[in-house]
Amino acid sequence: MKLFKVVSGVALSSAMLLTLSSGAFAQPSSQATKETSDVSVTLDGQTTHFSNSEIKRLAELNNVDPNELRKAIESGPDEEGRFSPFSKLAPLKNTGIVKEQLDKSNTQKLSSTGEPLIRSKAEKSVISPLSTVTKSDQDSTAYNWTGNKTANGNWPVLGVCAVHRNKDIGGSGNGPVIPFGTTLATDKDIWLPDNVGYKSSFNVDDTGSGPKRTDYWIDIYYSKDTKSAINYGVIKLSYTYSS
What local confidence, expressed as pLDDT, does residue 34 receive?
A: 55
Closest CA to 110 of 215, 199, 216, 191: 191
What local confidence, expressed as pLDDT, does residue 213 receive?
A: 95
Interior angle at CA 230, CA 92 and CA 227, nearest 5? 155
Query: What total number of domains does the chain contain?
Result: 2
Is residue 231 in some structural domain? yes
Confirm whether 206 is a catalytic residue: no
Over residues 101-121, mean pLDDT: 92
Give the confidence band of 3 by pLDDT, cuts at 50, 70, 90. Answer: very low
Q: Are residues 136 and 209 in the same domain?
A: yes
**In this structure, are residues 221 and 156 in contact, taking their beta carbons and an 8 Å threshold?**
yes
- Check: pTM over 0.85? Answer yes or no: no
Amino acid letter, residue 164: H
Q: Are residues 18 and 103 in the same domain?
A: no
- In this structure, the strands spanning 46-50 and 39-43 are antiparallel
Is residue 100 in some structural domain? yes
Q: Are residues 28 and 101 in the same domain?
A: no
Domain range spanning residue 162?
96-242
What local confidence, expressed as pLDDT, does residue 121 receive?
A: 85
* Catalytic choice (65, 78, 187, 215): 215
CATH of the domain at 173: 2.40.40.10
